[in-house]
Amino acid sequence: MIREVPDLRVRAIGSGSGGNSIAVRSGGTLLLVDLGFSFREQKTRLAECGIDISEVSAVLFTHDHSDHCKGVGTFHRRLPDIPLIANGDTADAIAMQTGVNDGWTLFENGEPFEIEGIQVTPFSISHDAADPVGYLFEADGSSLFVGTDMGIVTANVRMAFSRATCAVLESNHDPILLEQSHRPVSLKQRIRGRTGHLSNEDAATLVKDTNPLSLKAILLGHISSECNSPSLARRAFTDVLEEIGRTDIELSVLEQDRPGDLFEF
pLDDT over 90 at 91, yes or no:
yes
Q: What are the angstrom distances between the C-alpha of 129 and each of 94, 150, 155, 210?
A: 11, 10, 19, 26
pLDDT of amino acid 6: 57
What are the tens digits of pLDDT across the range 145-186?
A: 999 999 999 999 999 999 999 999 999 999 999 999 999 999
**pTM (two decimals):** 0.96
Q: Homologous superfamily of 9-264 in CATH?
A: Ribonuclease Z/Hydroxyacylglutathione hydrolase-like (3.60.15.10)
Give the CB-side neighbour count of residue 235, counting CA atoms within 13 A.
Answer: 7
Q: Which residues contact 227 (CB under 8 A, 6 or more apart)?
A: 172, 173, 174, 177, 178, 181, 183, 191
Under a CB-based contact definition with an 8 Å cutoff, are residues 13 and 22 in contact?
Answer: yes
Under a CB-based contact definition with an 8 Å cutoff, are residues 103 and 76 in contact?
Answer: yes
Within a 10 A sphere around the Cβ of 48, how many other Cβ atoms?
A: 12
